[in-house]
DNA sequence: ATATTGACATTTA
DNA sequence: ATAAATGCCAATA
């Protein structure tokens, strides 16, 4: 089932982000040992199991929400439902909700 | 095998 | 503040 491809490691990592927290594409990339930040977005965009794998908790490093398969609106809705305030496409008090993977 | 593709980040203007 | 150029790299085609 779970292999050791970067993709699978990426999914496993994202699953560790606790509810009510967010991290960035950059943080995930670095935890995976790469600097191809865009690649993380590409991998998550092909998320096999949306919701089960909480990729909505991964946002841009500048606090903007970033994209989502089901639409950005859905991503914002999910984040808010987990207690994360979002205003004008940005996480409010980003630092405070940031989950460090390293 | 090579070429393109991304839900990004940093630097520069 | 915005916008463009450049770097990144596994996955996809």
Largest pairwise CA distance in chain A: 39
Residue A59 lies in a domain: yes
Residue A77 lies in a domain: yes
Exposed, middle or buried by CB within 10 Å (0-12, 13-18, 19+), for A49? Answer: exposed
Find the mean pLDDT for residues A9-34: 97
Residue A68 lies in a domain: yes
**Averaged pLDDT score across all residues of chain A:** 95
Q: Which residues touch strand C (CB under 7 A)?
A: A 5-7, 34-39, 42-43, 46
Say what percent of chain A tops pLDDT 70. 99
Residue A69 lies in a domain: yes
Q: Parallel, antiparallel, or unpaired: how do β-strands A90-91 and A86-87 relate?
A: antiparallel
- CATH code of residue A63: 1.10.10.10
Higher per-residue pLDDT: A102 or A10: A10
pLDDT in tens, A41-90: 999 999 868 789 999 999 999 999 999 999 999 999 999 999 999 999 99
Please list the active-site residues of A: 55
The Å distance, CA of A63 to C1' of C5, is: 22
- Lookup: nucleotide whose C1' is closest to A37 CA: B8
Instruction: Residue A56: give the domain boundaries.
Output: 6-88
- Lookup: nucleotide whose C1' is closest to A70 CA: B7
CA gap A84, A21 in Å, rounded? 7
Q: What is the pLDDT of residue A1?
A: 72
Helical pair A6-14 and A37-45, crossing angle rounded to 10 deg? 80
**Nearest-CA residue relative to C1' of C9:** A36
Residue A26 lies in a domain: yes
Q: What is the pLDDT of residue A70?
A: 94
Residue A99 lies in a domain: no
Total structural domains in chain A? 1
Residue A11 lies in a domain: yes
The Å distance, CA of A1 to C1' of B11, is: 41
């Amino acid at each position: 089932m779970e292999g050791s491809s970067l993709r699978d490691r990426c999914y496993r990592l994202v699953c560790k982000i606790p509810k009510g927290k967010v991290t960035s594409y950059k943080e995930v990339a670095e935890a995976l040992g790469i600097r191809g930040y865009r690649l993380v977005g590409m991998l998550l965009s092909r998320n096999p199991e949306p919701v089960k794998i909480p990729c909505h908790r991964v946002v841009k490093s500048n606090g903007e929400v970033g994209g989502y398969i089901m639409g950005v609106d859905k991503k914002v809705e999910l984040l808010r439902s987990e207690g994360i305030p979002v205003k004008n496409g940005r996480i409010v008090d980003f630092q405070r909700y940031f989950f460090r993977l390293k």
